[in-house]
Every structure is written in C-alpha cells, then in structure tokens.
Structure 1
Amino acid sequence: MSGADIANVCNEAALTAARHNEEYVKLHDFEQAIERVIAGLEKKTKLLSPDEKKVVAYHEAGHAICGWYLEYADPLLKVSIVPRGQGALGYAQYLPADIFLYTTQKLLDRMTMTLGGRVSEELHFNSVTSGASDDFEKVTGLAQRMVLQCGMSPKIGTISYTIDRGQDMTKPYSERTAKTIDSEIRRIVDECHERCKNLLIEKADQVELVAQELLTKEVITREDMIRLLGKRPFANRNDAFDKYLASKDEKGDD
C-alpha cells in the first residue's frame, strides 16, 4: 500500500472502533478496514441465492488452491464469499512480495492463479458465469505485455511493440506480425488455462475442502488453509508473513 492507503486504513479502523464504542482501535478493526479499502463496503443487503453462493465458493476455492500450490503465486491471507462494493461477490486477499523483476515463471504462475476461479466453475458446474470477466482482463493484459513489451515470446523475440505512441494511431508492425502476436497471446493464455485445469483436477479433494469451509464460514483465513491443507509445499520460499511471524517469535524468545 502507499502512504495514503495506509492513512485511509487507519482512519477507517478508527471509525470502525468508534461505531462499536471501543476504547481503542483493535486488530480486528484494522482487518475490517483493510477489507473495506481493498474490496469495498460489505453489502449486507445483497443476499445471494444458495446456488449463487455455491458458485462463488467454488470460484474462490479455485483461486485459493492455485495460489497455495503454485510456487511463485502471492501468499494467501484471507478468502471471502461475502458480497462487497463494486460488484464483488467474493474476493481473495494476498500478501504480495516486494518484487521489482518478474521472471516468465512468476508471470505464468500469477496468470494461472488468476484463471483458477473460472476453471473451477468449468469443473464443478454445467455452465460458467460472468464472474471471471475481471480475471480475463488481468490475464489478457499480462499476456499482451509479455509478448509486446517484455520479449517473453520466442516467435516475437526481443522487440518492443508498444501500442501507445501518442497521436500516431498506426500499428508499429505488419499484419503478418499482428497474426503472430495474436497467436502468441492466445498460446500463453491457453497454456495457463490447461495448467490450471490439470492442477485443480489433481487437487480436487482440496478444492472441495476449501469450498465447503467457505460455504460454512463465509470467510476463511491463512490459518484455516494451513489447517485444511497443511503448509505451502515450498519450504525454501517462506512468504513474507511467515518471516514476519518468525521474527516476532524470535523477539519473544529474547
């Protein structure tokens, strides 16, 4: 978060504490404030039907399982199927690391995780929903940047085809190159989709566990994920939250 975001969270936490007549701002006030800043105000009047709630639960479970078992995905903090502002029927909160350079594998893991919701719907229901439209926008944008700007497509090579050229609306490449660009973007997205599908089929039991926990509790945390699935299977890649907890334990021991 930026400094302004953090200030906004502090203000929201103070308001939350005041609404509940608390003497001081507590940890759960900050947690609610972060959710409000990230995902919007909780919509208590927006009641989902049982069928809609089930779809959202399996959608979010797909994201959560992909994030748990993909090495370079952002660590998961919380998953919710409580409707919030800006049309969000559910959301997953992550703890992104301070990364300034993204490798191809990191981008592919992020795209695969983003497709997890839609793929989970495909595997568990006869029809898919419109809930993944924002996910598709993110995945397509990443694939475009990989091909057009980052030199991560073997067929396009180390050439930058930046579209934004001010007033010049002409494409900086030929029609033949345009077809190659389209096919490479499609290839990257399709490969991530297939990889995501294989992972969720392999981890079908875990998807079911997380989805049922969401349907029961509506909100599950990182601790719930560890209880259900065990720790993430990447001992050499402890996430920032693990390191934060470890540093607190060390200070406590002193």
Structure 2
Amino acid sequence: CLDIGSGLGGTALYFATQRPDIFVHGVNHSGELYSLVAGRHVKQSREVRERLTFELAPEAGIPENELRYPPNSFDVIIIRESMMYLDYQDKPVLLQKASRLLRPGGRLIVVDYGFGKPDKEVNSLFREHLQEWGYFLMEPAEQRKLLQRYFEVEDTDATEHFVRFMDEGLANIEEHFGESALVRQNAGKDAEQLELLRSPLIGQMQAALPRLSVDAVDDAVEAAMAKLNMHFDAERADAEVCKADYEWARRTWMLERRAAAEGDLRWTFFVAVKKGVAES
C-alpha cells in the first residue's frame, strides 16, 4: 500500500496497525512533517515498524526516477486530501504515475475536496480561503472524468460525514486549545505566589546549612527563584502558542465546515481500479 501525501502519517499508521498482513509506504514533500512522522514511527512496535516506511519526496508525490519501487509494485494507492494542493496541470501527471505503480486490478483510493457549486457561485470568503491555502479544487464530476483517463471509477459523496467529522474536530479543538484547556488555565498562575516563598526558603536554608554565609544563602535562593520564573515564563509562552493555535484552527475548521454544510464544498471518495495489463 502506497500513501501519497502522507502528511503526519495518520492514514499509513492506521492501515499498518489494523492490517498485520500489509506493507505500507508513505511519501511526503514536507521536511517539517517528515520529521514529525519520524517521531511517531519510532514509537511503534518493531513489528509495525518493519512493515511501515516513510520517504521524503518532491512534488508531494512520486517522481518515477526517484522512488525505489518499479511499475506494478502496489495493490493499493491512497491519495487523501492531497490532490487538491496540485495545480490543475499537475493532477493528471500524478494520476499517471500512480497508474504505473499499481498492478492491474489494483485500487487507487482518492479522498478529496471539491467544489459543490460552480466556481462563480461559491461564497467569497471560502474562495479567499482556497487561495490562502493553495487549494485547486474541481467539481466532483470533473474529478471523476480525470480519473477515468486511467481507471474504472466509482465515487461516493461523503460530505455529511465530513460535517460530522468537523464537528468532532471542533469539539477537540475547544477541549485541548480553548480557554478551559489546562495549558492555558495553569499558565504562570503560581508566579504571583513565588515572592512569598523567598523568606521561608531563606529560613529553611539557614536552618539546614548554618555554616553558609548570608550572601551565599541569598544567592542560592535567588538562583532558585530565577529558575522558577523561567519555568513560569515558558508556561505563559506555551499558553500564548496554544491560544494562537486555537484561534487559527477554530477559524479554519469552522469555515470549511460551513462551506460543506452550505454546499460550497464537497468531500468525495473515489475508488478507481486500474485497467489493462502490467506495465514494464
């Protein structure tokens, strides 16, 4: 199984852990995401790691002269929410490469955003969002026609599932990043009590180490206080990052959820079967 545009590796990890009889290889063009995936990969069991690999590749895809697998290597290829990042002229190039790597009868699974309305009728805020994120959407009928150049295709409109998925995601965003999130609630809340500890700390240190001079005790307590202040500063910085992530994620997810609910966005599953004989 080949996962093209594997992102954080969630899809590849899911299949590798759920199906002990398959080998999964993920490719991605983002070095930053690749580093995060590597961290997730090493936490898996040895048995899973032996069947799960990741590769950093340009074009979010599979340049034929750079991937180590020959034609007809895979039974299944997955492209989940990656086609939408490709320019219109690049989409057929990727599909052609995927077709070469699939065995005859192999399946290409494409999950992708698409326009739910003609481009001119799409909400202006959603259109700006597409430009900001570099999405190049097509209507599902156009996507199907493109896939049919290389495959026999069936498709399912899963937009209702997408809306429910976004609702669940928004609830998780609120829980982990919202105002009630622990990282925001606890940020530096003990800092104001820190100065009250100075005198008790000095007294305890003088009692425990009476041979130390007053200056030595003061210096030791000051160093401890400074270290605690650094900790509280880090907590406050983490809280600010959490707040920024919350505002960004909530705004983005709500916009895409609204676009799907109002018909501007369609979330479609395509199952495409490779036709013909094995390629050489």
- TM-score normalised per structure 1: 0.25
More strand by share: 2
By relative contact order (CA 8 Å, sep 6+), the higher-ranking structure is: 2
- TM-score normalised per structure 2: 0.24
More helix by share: 1
